[in-house]
Amino acid sequence: MAYLTRRIVSKQKKRFQEEGFDLDLTCMFTAIHRDNHVLDVTNNVIAMGFPSTSVEGFYRNKLQDVVRFLETRHKGSYKVYNLCSEKGYDPTLFNNRVERFPFNDHNPCPFEMILPFCRSVDEWLKQNSSNVAIVHCKAGKGRTGLMICSYLMYSRQRSTAPEALSYYAETRTMDKQGVTIPSQIRYVKYFGEYLRNGGKLPHGNKALFIEKITISHYPKSAGQIQISVSDKSDDRIISYRQDANNSQPAQNKINLFLERVALIDDLHFVVKEKKLISTPKQLFHFWINVAFINNNYVTLSKLELDGTHRDVKHREYHKDFCVEIFFSLAPYPSSEEQKKRIRNESKYEPDLSSRDSDEYSEEVVDSDLIKQMEQEYIKNKR
């Protein structure tokens, strides 16, 4: 029962099935560099799903199985990197060789988190050629892929973001669908651009005002558009509402004029629609970083927006649906100004009610299956 359940939950992710183990775990083929010379080539980076206890252990990696795997194959030579913001575990279970770089599921990490992660992994692997780094999030795919792809570029195993993403997809999954969430892919590309620029932000530390947001080919609606912009901590900075029919019908465009607030670093845009007295429904969201915005302009196609990218057959959104953001330079806010601008009256809560794509559903298990597992777990505990 547990074997079948784990296979269902892991879906297209490759599993480690040797020496009596059956784990949602993939060894990555990488090389170790020192002073521009290759020292060793080995499978020293491991991607895996969360090491779980209790009922979750029936359909994810069982924690004691993960510990046994590491102690059997990499005793004294492993370090675990937990990317989950939603949960952790006692680091003593892994001999206190655990480091956390937490960020939210289905989202990229703050850009400034990527370099410290890469440095930590690199330093650990270079201490000894037998060392391995185990990287995991919840499902061991999206967040894990973002960070491993970044490390592949940092350690010069892959030269570009597309190369790193392609390698990860082929190695981690059977259907070559590795990192699939657009904002996570975008941040891998950001880091590649950062490295090509000699470890410098391509457009420096700057602040921008949003002058206008234009949504083209927005679906016909009598509802209200709600948009929010949050910072890297997901503290809401700007909230805006406008009737969807307040548009340019001849051009199939909706123009939104938000409050002019100086914006820096990572920005999270969430777009919802509210009809009559119904609860607002999230349509899509996305992350961008101000330091990578060229010519004060960003355009994102439907395939580059988290949510609309699933509509590959154009059933809900026009094939040319896109979002354009027009910026202007702003004075860089002081630390005090940054604190004052944040409105803590609300936090962004992801709306999962209408998500049915692979990257979202990989985190969801059939409710009947969960009930059956819970019953089996209770039965075995007696």
Beta partners for residue 287, in sequence order: 268
Active site residue 137: yes
Active-site residue (options: 27, 84, 109, 137): 137
For 322, phi and psi rounded to 5 degrees? Answer: -160, 165
Among 28, 92, 85, 93, residue whose Cα is nearest residue 63: 93
Tell me how long the chain is.
382
Are 19 and 34 in contact by the 8 Å Cβ rule? The answer is no
The residue whose two tokens read 């060793």 is 40
Among 114, 173, 115, residue whose Cα is nearest residue 141: 173
Helix (H, G, I), strand (E, B) or coil at 253: strand
Helix (H, G, I), strand (E, B) or coil at 163: helix
In sequence order, what are the residues at sequence separation of 6 or more whose Cβ sits closer than 8 angstroms to the Cβ of residue 68?
21
Helix (H, G, I), strand (E, B) or coil at 235: strand
Are 100 and 88 in contact by the 8 Å Cβ rule? The answer is yes
Cα angle 105-110-116, degrees, rounded to a multiple of 5: 110
Q: Rg of the chain's alpha carbons, rounded to an integer?
A: 22
Catalytic residues: 137
